[in-house]
Amino acid sequence: MAKHHEPFEDEEEIIYVSKSELKRDAQELYELGVELTDLGKKQREKLPLSPILKEAMQLADKLKGKHEAYRRHLNYISKTLRETDNVPEIQAMLDVVLNKNNQADVILNKIEHLRTDLIEQGDDKANELLDKYPTLERQKLRQLIRQAKKEAEAQKPAKGHKELFQYLKDAIMP
């Protein structure tokens, strides 16, 4: 008894990709390459770059002043990224690295508001904060709040104000 085979059973589906889509993908990878070369060396170390890409980044740093050579090298980086398997991983880590500054600004603004609330509301706000952040020392926190409040009332330089901010920042920032 002969086996009956379906036509195209073992063949993979052919996916048509338009020329425009290929160009868009290439442009996205070129822009990713530009973003990578704009990073500092320390920031780049956090990214999962292949040895070839790391070497290309080092050369890009050297070529930054030479416009045409730098542009051609960016094309090379873009081509290398096309041949790299972990581009989504690199993009995700890049987003984290670039967004870190924005997150830090948001946290610092929250700490400033918290400091203002502590000076205005005193022990009630301090107790609430101590419940939320058990690493804070009650005595030191209350002392810094009193000092900042006294300086504000006497219109003296804000040394206590800065110390309170720094203490909160050290306890709250990740």
Residue 72: per-residue pLDDT: 92
Say if CB 39 and CB 100 are below 8 A apart.
no
Residue 162: per-residue pLDDT: 86
H-run or E-run covering 41: helix 41-45
Nearest Cα residue to 53 out of 35, 69, 67, 68: 35
Q: How confident is the model at residue 10 (pLDDT cuts 50, 70, 90)?
A: low
Q: How far apart are CA 84 and CA 28, in angstroms?
A: 14
Alpha-carbon 60 to chain mean position:
22
Nearest Cα residue to 26 out of 18, 15, 37: 18
**pLDDT tens-digit map of 113-169:** 888 888 888 888 888 888 888 888 888 888 888 888 888 888 777 788 888 888 888
Q: How far apart are CA 71 and CA 60, in angstroms?
A: 9
Residue whose token pair is 């104000």:
161
The conformation of residue 124, written as its DSSP 8-state character, comes to H
User: Which residue spans of the chain are classified as CATH 1.10.60.30?
Assistant: 99-172
Residue 36: per-residue pLDDT: 87
Say if CB 25 and CB 84 are below 8 A apart.
no
Percent of the chain scored above 70 by pLDDT?
A: 91
Higher pLDDT among residues 2 and 29, named by residue = 29
Residue 126: per-residue pLDDT: 83
**pLDDT tens-digit map of 91-121:** 888 877 777 667 777 778 888 888 888 888 8
Instruction: Report the C-alpha dihedral over residues 137, 139, 140, 142, rounded to 10 degrees.
Output: 110
Report residue 113 as tokens.
């508001």
Residue 9: per-residue pLDDT: 53
Residue 108 corresponds to which amino acid? L
**pLDDT tens-digit map of 49-64:** 888 888 898 898 888 8
Q: What is the mean pLDDT of residues 67-88?
A: 87
Which of the following CATH numbers is that of domain 99-172: 1.10.60.30, 3.30.200.20, 3.40.120.10, 3.90.1150.10? 1.10.60.30
Which CATH architecture best describes the domain 19-90?
Answer: Orthogonal Bundle (1.10)
